[in-house]
């Protein structure tokens, strides 16, 4: 069972979906959110898992976090993990 993402991350995913409606299914359903305290940022792996540090989210607006989510999605869409 997946862990529930924090409210700030859920809201940011909604913002990202409104910005990029063509990618909303990927953002909401394919990018599983996994908590990684201490990493200091957000990242993805080749299996479409999105890792986040809860502390990284604290001082960010949903719009700022949404931009990071979109950035991470680009890594996946452009297949950066395979490079």
Confidence (pLDDT) at 33:
94
Residue 6 pLDDT > 80: yes
Calpha distance 78→47 (Å, rounded)? 13
pTM, two decimals, is 0.90
Confidence (pLDDT) at 4:
81
> Tell me: the pLDDT tens digits for 19-43?
999 999 999 999 999 999 999 999 9
Confidence (pLDDT) at 5:
84
Residue 81 pLDDT > 70: no
Closest CA to 4 of 54, 66, 46: 54
């Amino acid at each position: 069972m997946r862990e529930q993402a924090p409210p700030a991350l859920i809201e940011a995913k909604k913002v990202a979906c409104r910005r990029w409606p063509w990618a909303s299914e990927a953002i909401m359903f394919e990018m599983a959110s996994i908590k990684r305290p201490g990493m200091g940022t957000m990242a993805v792996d080749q299996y479409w898992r999105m890792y986040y540090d809860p502390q990284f989210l604290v001082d960010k607006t949903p719009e700022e976090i949404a931009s990071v989510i979109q950035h991470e999605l680009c890594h996946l869409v452009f297949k950066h993990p395979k490079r």
